[in-house]
Amino acid sequence: MTTVSPSEPVDPVELTAPVAGLTPVLGVKAAILLTISCITPASSLFIIVPTLLASQGSGVVLTILAGVLVSVGVGACYAELGTRTPSSGGEYAMVTHTLGRRLGWLTFVLTCATLVVIPPVIALGTADYLAPVLSLDRATTGAVVMLLATATAVLDIKANAIVTSAFLAIETLAAAVVAYLGFTHSERSVSTLWHPQALDGAGHLAPFSLGILLSGLAVAMFVANGFGTASYLAEEIIDPRRNVARAVFGSLFIGSLIIVIPTAATVLGVADLRDLATGTFPDFVTAWGGSRVSAAISVGIAVAILNAVIVMVLQNGRVIYASARDRAWPDAVNKRLSRLHPRFNSPAAATLVISLPGAVLAYLVDIESLLGVTSVTVSAVYLLLALAGLAVRRTPHPGWRMPLWPLPSVLVILGVGYALLESARADLLIVGGIVLAALAYDQLYLQPRRDTHFVVDAKEDR
């Protein structure tokens, strides 16, 4: 029988009445397409990879592959935990049911910090890539992209799958054009990829080393980030005990290919390997195909950014919805945020609550200065997820089981631990402050109401 804290009376009928939930309508293909759209491989290719090209030289492919290997370990954790606990709460639901309520709540707060910051940061890049075609104000364009993404995300999940699939085709075409141009303008043999070179401190090409690879690993680990979206969609995926894992690994494999192949083509196609340190993809494409092709590729990148923001807003709304359904907030807040749209059956209110502040941040705040904090926060969530992966088999479960357990979790702990050690002290202190605030809310509000609040649904009926 459910008990209610005397400090916060709640209608028992409201607590026990059945609540209509999200509807499982997504097959494996639709789930993979939505998840790839969140990985947004084209934007990773054009925004993150240039940073690696500058530091890793022709060894960039090896570094990305090392990062993908860590991502496979993270993916194994997502897959097993997400099929054990197929909840739209994603990471916090997984951690709660393996490591306990307090670490589950901490995971939720850390995740929320990234949900607010990452979409508007990505949206701000839209104007940069539309510059060859249109001159737009960066902040205004970022805010408009956030609003467009929000308007799309409140539609039903099938409509979102159709929209994002169309956008994904455009961004994949842009990546394919880069790969074609790079390979057809090849200046060196494929052996360059496994006998790489990078610039030394004096600006000369020198043999690639393990130390150089490790220096880029912290960035490379996040090149294919986004495959965890499959866990947020778990309640809307048909047969999630089996298909969440398929969506995680299918999206990770396809997304990585879309990133790695054009990157390899670029290494082979640039006129001089030194150009990797100073050039950009628009520069390379202009040299290979002319300014019009470069402008078309830039538009494709802008489409990729919008696509990524749509899926991020979509998944973020589901996390907030799940937290309200699990009663993480005062009852008046829980009641409003756990409502589903009567027509679209989407968590419209929760989506607006998490996404509209992002539009404001994009317009008014230098939010890109928070990227370091965001990186530390994501690393901390991955670390908690890996620890949950170590603990997941303390009790039997009907979901997918990662091979070579617990090796994938150990690999993630080592990789993410290294990334945290390389982080700036200021960023670590800010995230430490977020952790303290989360623990204070748990101690002062959730713990006294533990029988009625933050009771995380494991979705065992799925």
pLDDT in tens, 380-389: 999 999 999 9
Q: What is the pTM of this model?
A: 0.83
Residue 131: strand, helix, or coil: coil
Give the tens place of pLDDT for each residue, 405-425. Answer: 999 999 889 988 888 888 889
Q: Quick one: pLDDT at residue 399?
A: 84
Residue 47: count other Cβ atoms within 10 Å of its Cβ. Answer: 19
CA-to-CA separations, 97 to 108, 391, 440, in angstroms, rounded: 13, 10, 21
Q: Quick one: pLDDT at residue 15?
A: 39
CA distance 46 to 369: 20
Residue range 304-322: mean pLDDT, rounded:
90
pLDDT-based confidence at residue 20 (cuts at 50, 70, 90): low
Check whether the bond before 406 is cis (ω within 30° of 0): yes
Residue position matching structure tokens 């631990």: 417
Q: Quick one: pLDDT at residue 141?
A: 94
Q: Quick one: pLDDT at residue 329?
A: 95
Residue 401: strand, helix, or coil: coil
pLDDT-based confidence at residue 311 (cuts at 50, 70, 90): confident
Residue range 254-273: mean pLDDT, rounded:
95
Treating both helix axes as pointing N-terminal to C-terminal, what angle do 425-441 and 371-391 enclose, rounded to 10 degrees? 60
CA gyration radius for the chain?
22
Give the tens place of pLDDT for each residue, 325-367. Answer: 999 999 999 999 999 998 888 999 999 999 999 999 999 887 7
pLDDT-based confidence at residue 161 (cuts at 50, 70, 90): confident
Q: pLDDT at residue 52 above 50? A: yes
| Length of the chain (residues) | 462
Q: Quick one: pLDDT at residue 460?
A: 63
Residue range 213-225: mean pLDDT, rounded:
86
Q: pLDDT at residue 14 above 80? A: no
CA dihedral 83, 87, 89, 90 (to 10 degrees): 20
Instruction: Using a pLDDT cut of 70, give the percent of the chain over it.
Output: 94
Residue type, 94: M
Q: pLDDT at residue 12 above 50? A: no
Give the tens place of pLDDT for each residue, 77-114. Answer: 999 998 888 887 888 999 999 999 999 999 999 999 88
Give the tens place of pLDDT for each residue, 242-261. Answer: 899 999 999 999 999 999 99
Residue partners of 353: CB distance under 8 A and separation at least 6 = 317, 320, 337
For 102, the token pair is 């307090």
Residue 346: strand, helix, or coil: coil
Q: pLDDT at residue 3 above 50? A: no
Q: pLDDT at residue 8 above 50? A: no
392 against 47, higher pLDDT: 392
Q: Quick one: pLDDT at residue 11?
A: 43
CA-to-CA separations, 269 to 60, 106, 341, in angstroms, rounded: 14, 46, 50
- Range of weakest confidence among 15-19, 50-54, 329-333, 347-351: 15-19
Q: Quick one: pLDDT at residue 369?
A: 73
Residue range 26-46: mean pLDDT, rounded:
88
Q: What is the mean pLDDT of the chain?
A: 88
